């Protein structure tokens, strides 16, 4: 009998054959590990984040210890989130030159000049009300906030950050930040824009980790409606036009279609953020013994890559490096 059907199994027969034809691979250098650094008088401070097993808030010292281990494993890039001692309505610790993120950047860059240190640029961890911008009449004011974001990005640049990543979702922020950086001689500092950031419930555990839950209301007047794909293209186009170097889609796994559209629609590098809720769900399932953590993580990250991510921010980065070693 003559076979007329497709025999896909021919190339799946052995591990070596499968390896030969594999189309997508996670590379250690694609991974960015997030860290939470706390401004505290206790140099030994380290507090596990209950909803994110394996992740913790660290003092500067403890952060440095943790990063040292990660660098030994081969970590090349990280993104920093800061938790200040004092919060106020204008989030002044976000742009203070002595702020916790700025201190952490200086520390890490002094110790590891080659490490790519990225900073999250946003107000929500620094404002007493937990919103990502400046409030007036209980409403986040777009244009007023731009100055604050630009100041924040500039202070990160001065501290020695290798890249800034605005996550606030104000309109015009990339332009404001680009202008501020260029004016002060940071024209070669790249901006990774959280361009397509949905108002997602998957950020729940992060808000415990970063102590950044809004005191009232939600973020829906600035973050995107998860239902919108065409609008995602508009957001990405706008950020690119304003000077973004990398476009990010966030969350990742529930938004693979968005990721693919962005990858196909724009020729700049695309980043995906596997967010806290994605992490916590996998951790919870694994702790229950219902799923195999390592296999599920690798499959998820491979899917994110396959859908178009060039780089991936993931709380599993350190673990992946460990598994790949
Ligand atoms: C700050 C910010 C958030 C995340 C990254 N930057 C939280 C939010 O928008 O509420 C979420 C990251 C995660 O869930 O892992 N605006």
Q: What is the pLDDT of residues 222-271, one digit of tens each?
A: 999 999 999 999 999 999 999 999 999 999 999 999 999 999 999 999 99
Distance of CA 36 to the CA centre of its chain: 12
Distance 162 CA to ligand 1 centre (A): 20
Phi, psi of 218 (to 5 degrees): -145, -170
The DSSP-derived string for 93-155 is GGS-TTSHHHHHHHHHHHH-TTSEEEEEE-STTTBTT--SSEEETTEEEHHHHHHHHHHHHHH
Report whether residue 122 contacts ligand 1, using a CB cutoff of 6 Å.
yes
Distance 164 CA to ligand 1 centre (A): 15
pLDDT attached to residue 9: 97
Q: Specify whether 62 is catalytic.
A: no
Segment 10-23 mean pLDDT: 98
CA distance 167 to 215: 18
pLDDT attached to residue 3: 73
CA distance 96 to 103: 10
Maximum distance among all alpha carbons in the chain? 78
Report whether residue 170 contacts ligand 1, using a CB cutoff of 6 Å.
no
Nearest CA to ligand 1 atom 10: 203
Query: Which tokens belong to 107?
Result: 């520390």
Distance 132 CA to ligand 1 centre (A): 10
Q: Is the dihedral of CA 295, 297, 302, 303 positive or negative?
A: positive
Check 197, 220, 295, 305 and give the catalytic one: 197
Three-state secondary-structure class, residue 247: strand
pLDDT attached to residue 171: 97
CA distance 43 to 189: 31
Report whether residue 167 contacts ligand 1, using a CB cutoff of 6 Å.
yes
Check 62, 87, 151, 250 and give the catalytic one: 250
Please state whether the peptide bond connecting residue 234 to the residue before it is cis, i.e. omega within 30 degrees of 0.
Answer: no
Q: Which atom of ligand 1 is nearest to the CA of 197?
A: 9
CA distance 89 to 120: 19
Report whether residue 120 contacts ligand 1, using a CB cutoff of 6 Å.
yes
Q: What is the pLDDT of residues 149-199, one digit of tens each?
A: 999 999 999 999 999 999 999 999 999 999 999 999 999 999 999 999 999
User: Whole-structure pTM over 0.95, yes or no?
Assistant: yes
- Residue 1 in this model has a pLDDT that exceeds 70: no
Query: Which tokens belong to 171?
Result: 């309109």
Q: Specify whether 183 is catalytic.
A: no
Task: Map out the domains of the chain with their CATH numbers.
Answer: 25-324 (3.20.20.70)
Report whether residue 224 contacts ligand 1, using a CB cutoff of 6 Å.
no
Segment 202-223 mean pLDDT: 94
Q: What is the pLDDT of residues 40-60, one digit of tens each?
A: 999 999 999 999 999 999 999
Q: Which atom of ligand 1 is nearest to the CA of 168?
A: 16
Segment 197-218 mean pLDDT: 94
Three-state secondary-structure class, residue 297: helix
pLDDT attached to residue 23: 98
Query: Which tokens belong to 139?
Result: 């409403």
Nearest CA to ligand 1 atom 14: 203
Percent of the chain scored above 70 by pLDDT?
A: 99
pLDDT attached to residue 141: 96
Report whether residue 275 contacts ligand 1, using a CB cutoff of 6 Å.
yes
Tally of CA atoms within 13 A in the half-sphere of 141 that contains its CB:
12
Beta strand pairing call for 134-136 and 139-141 = antiparallel
Nearest CA to ligand 1 atom 2: 167
CA distance 83 to 39: 6
Query: Which tokens belong to 28?
Result: 């250690």
Give 142's pLDDT tier (boundaries 50, 70, 90).
Answer: very high
pLDDT attached to residue 2: 65
pLDDT attached to residue 243: 98
């Amino acid at each position: 009998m003559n076979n007329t059907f497709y025999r896909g199994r021919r190339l799946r027969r052995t591990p070596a054959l499968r390896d030969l034809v594999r189309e997508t691979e996670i590379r250690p250098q694609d991974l960015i590990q997030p860290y939470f650094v706390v401004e505290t008088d206790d140099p030994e401070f380290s507090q596990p984040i209950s909803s994110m097993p394996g992740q913790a808030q660290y003092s500067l010292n403890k952060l440095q210890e943790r990063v040292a281990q990660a660098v030994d494993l081969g970590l090349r890039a990280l993104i920093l989130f800061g938790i200040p001692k004092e919060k106020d309505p204008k989030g002044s610790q976000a742009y203070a030159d002595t702020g916790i993120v700025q201190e952490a950047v200086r520390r890490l860059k002094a110790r590891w000049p080659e490490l790519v240190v990225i900073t999250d640029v946003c107000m929500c961890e620094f404002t007493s009300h937990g919103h990502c911008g400046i409030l007036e009449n209980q409403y986040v004011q777009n244009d007023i906030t731009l100055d604050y974001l630009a100041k924040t990005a500039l202070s990160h640049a001065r501290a020695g950050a290798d890249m800034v990543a605005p996550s606030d979702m104000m309109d015009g922020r990339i332009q404001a930040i680009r202008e501020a950086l260029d004016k002060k001689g940071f024209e070669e500092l790249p901006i990774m824009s959280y361009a397509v950031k949905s108002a997602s419930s998957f950020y729940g555990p992060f808000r415990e980790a970063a102590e950044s839950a809004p005191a009232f209301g939600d973020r829906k007047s600035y973050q995107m409606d998860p239902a919108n794909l065409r609008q995602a293209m508009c957001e990405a186009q706008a950020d690119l036009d304003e000077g973004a170097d990398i476009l990010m889609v966030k969350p990742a796994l529930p938004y693979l279609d968005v990721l693919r559209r962005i990858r196909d629609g724009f020729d700049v590098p695309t980043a995906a953020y596997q967010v806290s809720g994605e992490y916590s769900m996998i951790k919870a399932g694994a702790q229950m013994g219902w799923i195999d953590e390592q296999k599920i993580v690798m499959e998820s990250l491979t899917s994110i890559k396959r859908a178009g991510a060039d780089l991936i921010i993931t709380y599993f980065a350190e673990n992946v490096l460990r598994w790949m070693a």
